[in-house]
Structure 1
Amino acid sequence: MKNHNLFLTPNYRYRLPESNLKKLILSLIVLLSFVHVAAQNNINISGTVVDDQGEAVIGASVVAQKSKNGTITDVEGNFKLSVRSNDVLTISFIGYITQTVPVSGKNNIVVTLKENSMLLDEVVVTGFGLAQKKASVTGAISSVGAQELAHAKSVTATGALVGKLPGVNFRQDNGRPGAAPNIQIRNMGTPLIIIDGVQKDSGNLNNLDFNDIESVSVLKDASAAIYGMQAANGVVVITTKRGQKNQKLKVNVNGYYGWQLPSNYPKPASAEDYLAAIIQTETINGTPRTVTKEEYQKWVDKVDEDHTSFDWYKYIWVSAPQSYVNANVSGGTEKVRYYLSLGHIDQEGNIRGFKGFNRTNMQSNIDIDITNRFKVGVAINGRIETTDNPGLPGDDYNLPIYGAYNNLPTKKPYANNNPKYPAISAPWAQDSFGWMNYEHAGSYKDQWKVIQINGTAEYEILKGLKARGLFSYWLANRRQSNREYSYKFYEYDKESDVYNVVETGTARYTERSMEMKEELTSNIQLSYENTFALHHVNAVVGFEAKKGTYPRMYALGNPPANGIPYIDKTSLSNFTDGIGNPQTRMGYIGRLNYDYANKYIIELSGRYDGSYRYKRGKRWGFFPSASIGYRVTEEKFWQDVDFLKDNITNLKIRASYGVLGEELGTALSHIVGYNYNSGGAVIDGGLVTGSTVTGLATDNITWGKSKILNIGIDLGFLDNRLNASFDYFNRDQTGLLASRYDVQIPEEVGFSLPQENLNSNYARGFDASVNWRDRIGDVNYTVGGNVTYSRWYVGDRYKPRFSSEWQKFRYQAGNIKGRYTDVEFSLVSDGQFQSWEEIANHPVDQDHQGNITLKPGDAKYKDMNGDGLINDADWRPIGYRKGGTPWVNFAFNLALDWKGIDFRADFVGATAYTYVQQGFLRYFDPNKNLSQYLWDNSTRLVDIWDADSGFNIGKYPLALRTRNNSDCTHWPSDFWYTNMTYLKMRNMEIGYTLPQKWTSKVGISRCRFYVSGQNLFALKNIDIDIDPEITAENGMAYPNMKVVNFGFSVDF
């Protein structure tokens, strides 16, 4: 660059005469005066924003504090801006510490942003106008942001949260298309869902597009009290994405395509093993042969196609694609911010011939500053979701789920392998899989169309004093259409080349269901926030009301032919017109937050709630809460000790206590009602519709209450690279419903006493998390984990009664104060019988028949009371809860980034719950196949044709067709119960972001490709091929599939 300042050019030396010195000084004074005047004018500056590794920071916000001009950095981290020469720039970007830089007349500025490892400035949204910095939070609140959610490629938003939130438990008990994990906070029950300030149900959360979520905060303790009557189980607060001020237009397109791979399903036995099990049963029992040696050998040798085992598992369960695409646009000016998004997901079913699930989401958030003091916003979101399956009796999935066992491996699905002619392949013809498709069974479609409109307004009355209003309208329309055909089964006659009908199902059904849900929500608040020296105050009072109606109509017809889709008055067999079922709730809220010097923090809140369910006088309840926090590390004595200041950078102690209301019981139970169209009588030759009384009315029912205590500590070490938190909680649940038993009413009345608020339970537990974030060279990495323990205990019971001390011991769960609510009782096993001789000499009568039904390999039970008989008196507590969420849940997370390559892995696990081995995994059902696992691990004859050949004692008893669940070897015992522990790979993703110097040439600011997987493997303490999350003890649930996706994300 040419230098015009000769005084700074080193190649020249000047000597000023003394006579000219005064002139020079005067000139400089004039020049400085000019500069001072010019400082009031704008200058054009340019600059670059980089991270501490010298990499460009794309999209960083650069705002001039005096001129209020702003911009964002481009793909190379550069920016240009017109500012005052004496202005100050504020540079910020998510995940980095905000910096202020004086312009000082410079034309070019380079700013280095340091990664924010402290995380204390992270904003936690708790609702009702409060978004707190994490440092000032006094409640037990877990949160996760959009960046982490983006790496979990789940069909549902709930699935994207799994393993990321301490104290929040998830369990996905089936993998049906569109299915989502069940969510509980600290095993307390279903939480309240808040989406952009509006109460919704879990279905609305599940069907959000995870790409539209900005943040998720979970209120686990009494901090949830401000949300009122439905918040006793905790609150999940969802905030969707919005545009930012002075944000340049940003366009993002992302998507993936992948495959769902069948897994985690116990495989059925092959034809030869199925026949071997039949032969063994006949040999043991001495019954006539149904399978000859010659026929059996043909199956063993697979002599032809007709003697080759048919693998029903591989035939029914197939790999299926799933795809997702989302496009969103965001940006903003000084006055208007916007975010628009459109996404679609398609998840085909893994059952052959089933279409599956698809959903289209739309999200639109627009915010406008009408004036500096008046702001408005409009949010519109909607979705259309559809489930599509063949029309099968009952639950459309049950028959095919059981199909691998109901259909025998010696049979095939179609006569002569012709798909037009279903064959009988199961002992019960209707279980045959060949007809379970659209052509032969009919069709079922379930479709939701949902739209929600939120309008918001905010007016700043005085500095810090604001009035806010929210109005929401939500409309959901559901339409179900089910057509079930009559069907035929065929046999093929090779000689005549004719397909003969061998059985017919004559029932035909056409069902129509239309349901509409309509909800109106309004929320009005007055808030005040200000800082006085070291005192900071934030307060809000408000009113919230919600009204909903939920009408439904249902019709069932029996059409004369499969091709007639209509229901007319001649075919109508059932019609139900559900009333609107109106529901109304309202509440008055108040909250006060105060902190002194960001060290001593207090929050007080309360809500006065009313519900339509209860009678006047018991309709309203007041539910207060309070919390305190003490940031020890902000004290001067801490900052004065270098070792403490440098090594323990965050120490906060907090506690909370509150009373939350629970809306219990059925609506209007204080009024005597009648069930219309219940029964009837024939009068004068005609049927007169009858009605029945719903039961006795009761005045003694109102809110249940949950008193929740939480004590927690937050820790940060080494500049908060290492963070940890621990919370202990105690929940006392009172006013639970029960009926009195000591007031007698005549049996002729036909109903029992109504329920009242009589009982109580309580829970104790803790949750903890630890997280380490650091950098080694060019590698950024994060390792974290969390664990939750929660267990329920029996509280007060209305006059508990027991006929004996044994009964008191046996039925303690749920009845004795201080005992666990969910302990499993069963017999206690003592190994297995090894021989006929051991059975003959066994001194205890185990089968109540002198042990004549026992066989080598059978389970042997302990006679706990020594009476020589195995019965209920020998049952003992042997396990934890079954079916529900385990007592202990944990998760581990790993993240790595290196020169554009990133890796993420989420592991989830649980322990302290009971798995009970049932059904096909326990015994050989006479009308079905048995599991290959059971056959391979069961006791067997050395020679299946010879009863005297001896036994090879296996892990399980003999698998005999004549032994069912009532056989004594299959009685409930710890022989069949396992205290389950597992660790599961929930999500894994590896991606690569192309260098900006490549993508910027084609107008792309960021381009990333990745491959991800879900449910890739599980480590568990049982060797059965089932998913440890499912609750179906026989393994017969729609399995959670392994998923592999290939995807992309592009920013323009």
Structure 2
Amino acid sequence: MKNKLLKTITMLSKGFLYGLILQMLLVNFSSIMQAKGQYKGIEEVTIRLSAPLLTIRQFFKEVERETPFKFAYDNKRLDQSQVIHFDSQSGTVEEGLITVGKQLNIRFRQINHIIDVFHHKKEGGHPQIVQEWDTVTGTVKDQNGEAIPGATILVVGTNTGTATDLEGNFTLEVDEGAVLQISFIGYQSQRVTVSNQTNLNIILEENHSSLEEVVVVGYGTRERKDLTGAISQINSEEITKTASLTPEMAMQGKMAGVFVSNPGSNPNARPSIRIRGVSTLGYNDPLFVIDGIPLVEGGAASGDARNQDLRGNVNVFNLINPNDIESISVLKDASATAIYGVRASNGVILITTKRGSKGKPKVSISSRYGVQNIKNDWDVMNTQDYVETYLEALNNNPAASPDPNYFRFYDSSSPEYLGNSPYYTDEWLNATRVKNAVIQDHNVSITGGNEMSNYAVGAGFSGQENAMYTSTFNRYSAYVNSDHQIASWLKVGESFRFVYSQTEEDGGAGLNTAFSAPWQPLYDPSGFRGYATPGRMVGDGFLSNVMVVPREIIFLPFLN
């Protein structure tokens, strides 16, 4: 059974190899024939003129209309009103040009589909039709003398070209003085001027930098970032133009196909990033790679909700100072999965931090300080509006049967009627906003180096207060790195990064509470720490969210 399977695989492999070789031969043959037959000479193209007498302008227009040829001439030197007499209205373009040349004492020169018009220096000279191409043959080889099949030979400035055969040989018809460009993948292109040669021997040198790019593509290096795929990139200048304290917000609105949501004024909140939309019903966050090291945040990608809780609610990327970033690149298509595997299915964000460079020591200092305020005031219902809306909803629902225990609060004839209660929503809204919330960012760095070594040292402080009640974020960061070229084949470097961050979260009720019952006061001088207890006086007793009555519990959701 094994032998039979092995024979089958061998037979299929041979068939595939023979088919591939045959296909390559056919493609090369068709390319050569197409290149050689791309242009026809003036002696091959026929034309029929509209009349035996034509001006030079009319003759040019009829040739250009009926053939692919175009004329190039000097308007100042050529009188286009001159009349030519043609013995025959039918014939080749070459015969027509000879007739024109004899009568007007001009000559023509064809290069591809362009026919140049020249004047004779001596009167009475015989008109000339200059044929456009000479036949040139040649061979293209590498530095080891091996033939390079499939190399492209192109006449610079034209569409004329051909390709070498399996033995590296080519044949091409070109004009004397033409420049040939010879190129092949992995080799440096070369240009050769055709003078009196009829045979050319071309030696192509390997393009080492090009080959290195193919090997290093996308594997976290700083110079090459998966050039075969869709990529967006921003540099340090664009990053530092924004007042953002996190790398995610520095990307917002600057990369095509990358959506970054604003989590609000909370500095600890995690922005949502989606690359080319939502790809799954589950985890959609991209993979972050910082200086070549993938960063996975807790159990974020886990399918188990308990493991997902390990992630926490604080944005871990607050630890990265945007001022320390040299560039941010986003790999958006499937080619990223060839490098980082299934983790890259939602895209990859490559973050490269700053390093030293050759030159004198350079000191950079930046400082920002500002305040944040929420300017908009919300137009919300007062107590009377709230009660009227409730009654309108009740009247529009015939099936409703309100509980008499709390319907009395909406009955205008009841002493517990809420419509006449004071309005406290503005009090709550003002308490949820932090006036002049501070945002600041201060950084200093020193970079430099020479031919053998470079270094970079920096430190920074960033702080932000939430404009809504209430949270704060402070970050102290410092970094040191250097690179040393010990030998031509050995480079040594190190990177140290120190970050200390402080986050504070005061879990207030937020706007949900502020927008609920408008008759609920916030402050009470006699209450605990000066705050009012949720609820209200009803008769001789105080009712809170839950009112306990013998043998039953009545929930009063409107008494927040």
Give the TM bin, normalised by the shorter chain.
0.3 to 0.5
Q: Which has the higher contact order (CA 8 A, sep 6+)?
A: 1
TM-score, normalising length from structure 2? 0.47
- Relative to its length, the structure with more strand (as a share) is 1
- Relative to its length, the structure with more helix (as a share) is 2
Q: Which has the larger radius of gyration?
A: 2
